[in-house]
């Protein structure tokens, strides 16, 4: 599961990662992004434009928005088969922009889980593989929403959690963002754990447990205790 992440970079850094990215909206620093909030996204539309989507997929056929909170993640192993994700996997893929994410480690005999923060050793931003959809309410309100695809963990994440978000290397971004028809087989090749050797992790404060906390102190490494 991926349930919290951060994006603490400026537009110029995002444009280095995606050279043709159009950024018309302000990118606000976020250190504790949570489900149902608005997240920075690039849809697979002809224009690669930074937009913001609701985190928690609302399928176009849904009667209401209640299922959104249960759709923050999609399992990479079955995403091409599940009714809620099958069509978006083929036609509505997206990047969800981040520079780190959190997972919680369960310690035998302890009630409190230990929050860990994962990021690139380079400190650069990266892109989760995501899916998006557009839902229209009976009152003609339109909501664009998204979900993060997860997969089995790499060697760095595995001791902490049994899932990790799919992070796309730069060479896979064009395929994932293509608005042309792609084979399921080629798309599924994107859904693999990111190389552990390019990442690092450290323990952080349990202050991250509360969505009300959203400042840079959450990213300070915590040792011992």
Nearest to 93 by CA among 23, 19, 146, 150: 146
Question: How far lies 17's CA from each of 26, 98, 175, in Å?
Answer: 17, 11, 15
Q: For residue 100, give every residue at least 6 positions away whose Cβ sits within 8 Å of its Cβ, in sequence order, or none.
A: 5, 6, 8, 117, 118, 119, 219
- In this structure, how many other beta carbons lie within 10 angstroms of the beta carbon of residue 180? 6
User: Which of these is catalytic: 13, 25, 103, 155?
Assistant: 103
User: At 127, is the secondary structure helix, strand, or coil?
Assistant: strand
Of 2, 94, 144, 190, catalytic: 2
Residue 94 catalytic?
A: no
Note if 13 is an active site residue. Answer: no
Cβ contact 177:188 at 8 Å: no
Integer-rounded Cα radius of gyration of the chain: 17
Backbone angles phi, psi at 115, to 5 degrees: -80, 135
Which residues are identified as catalytic?
A: 2, 103
């Amino acid at each position: 599961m991926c349930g919290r992440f951060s994006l603490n970079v400026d537009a110029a850094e995002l444009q280095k990662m995606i050279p043709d990215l159009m950024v018309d909206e302000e990118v606000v620093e976020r250190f504790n992004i949570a489900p149902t909030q608005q997240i920075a996204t690039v849809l697979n539309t002809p224009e690669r434009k930074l937009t913001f989507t609701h985190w928690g997929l609302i399928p176009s056929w849904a009667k209401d928005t209640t299922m959104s909170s249960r759709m923050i993640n999609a399992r990479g192993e079955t995403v091409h088969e599940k009714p809620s994700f099958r069509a978006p996997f083929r036609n509505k893929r997206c990047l969800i922009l981040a520079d780190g994410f959190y997972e919680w480690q369960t310690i035998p005999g302890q009630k409190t889980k230990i929050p860990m923060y994962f990021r690139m050793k380079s400190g650069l931003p990266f892109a989760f593989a995501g899916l998006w959809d557009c839902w229209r309410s009976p009152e003609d309100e339109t909501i664009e929403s998204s979900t993060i695809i997860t997969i089995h963990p790499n060697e760095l994440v595995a001791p902490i959690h049994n899932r990790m978000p799919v992070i796309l290397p730069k060479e896979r971004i064009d395929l994932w963002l293509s608005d042309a028809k792609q084979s399921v087989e080629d798309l599924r090749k994107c859904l693999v754990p990111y190389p552990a050797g390019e990442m690092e992790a450290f323990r952080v404060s349990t202050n991250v447990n509360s969505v009300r906390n959203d400042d840079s102190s959450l990213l300070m490494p915590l040792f011992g205790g």
